[in-house]
């Protein structure tokens, strides 16, 4: 008797599948381009980079669609985007940037091993973020892998927009205080 296996993940939306597939293809091409000389024309290379930058925007659409608000309002939906998956994704970006800073700072073996540790922590927290974005309860999966990956990318983009917005406001306030203090 052949036993059928079923997937424990819920099905992903079409946009979630497109985002996750394009993300995995792009990351694979970046890694392959590092070790194999792939001749890509400038126009195609620029289009490829721009399409990679479009992925978080599409992920933000998936995250917005998959959010679970308590009420029907805009702020309730916006507040529901802040999940454990979001904070793990932000932590992943922080670890990745710290690893990049250590890698660029010095070429000694101590700095390289430290940067490798930060890159591993970044990779692990990114996958934990996808796991948190796919689960609803401890053992039940509500979203598919594609939607969870797209949500992770979108949530990071939303947080960076909030940070840039607050930084712009603080920059304007600081400029006003500088003009007032000079008088």
Give domain limits for the chain. Answer: 14-178
pLDDT of residue 178: 85
Q: What is the mean pLDDT of residues 158-169?
A: 80
pTM above 0.75, yes or no: no
Cα–Cα distance, 52 to 41 (Å, whole number): 16
Cβ neighbours of residue 115 closer than 8 Å, sequence gap 6 or more: 99, 100, 102, 103
Question: Which tens digit of pLDDT belongs to each residue from 81-95?
Answer: 777 888 888 888 888
Q: Which of the two residues, 97 and 172, has the higher pLDDT score? A: 172
Mean pLDDT across the chain: 76
For the cut 80, the answer to whether the pLDDT of residue 5 exceeds it is no
For the cut 60, the answer to whether the pLDDT of residue 181 exceeds it is yes
SS3 per residue for 123-156: HHHHHHHHHHHHECCCCCECCCHHHHHHHHHHHH
pLDDT of residue 8: 55
For the cut 60, the answer to whether the pLDDT of residue 2 exceeds it is no
pLDDT of residue 124: 93
């Amino acid at each position: 008797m052949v036993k059928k296996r079923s997937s424990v993940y819920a099905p992903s939306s079409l946009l979630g599948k497109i985002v996750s597939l394009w993300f995995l293809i792009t990351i694979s091409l970046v890694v392959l381009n590092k070790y194999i000389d792939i001749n890509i024309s400038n126009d195609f290379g620029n289009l490829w980079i721009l399409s990679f930058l479009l992925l978080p925007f599409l992920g933000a659409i998936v995250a917005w669609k998959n959010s679970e608000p308590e009420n029907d309002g805009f702020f309730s939906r916006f507040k529901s985007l802040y999940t454990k998956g979001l904070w793990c994704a932000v932590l992943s970006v922080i670890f990745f940037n710290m690893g990049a800073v250590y890698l660029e700072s010095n070429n000694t073996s101590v700095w390289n091993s430290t940067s490798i540790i930060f890159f591993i922590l970044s990779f692990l927290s990114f996958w934990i973020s996808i796991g948190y974005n796919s689960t609803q309860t401890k053992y039940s999966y509500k979203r598919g892998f594609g939607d969870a990956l797209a949500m992770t990318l979108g949530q990071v983009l939303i947080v960076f927009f909030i940070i840039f917005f607050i930084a712009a406001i603080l920059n304007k306030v600081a400029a006003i205080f500088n003009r007032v203090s000079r008088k």
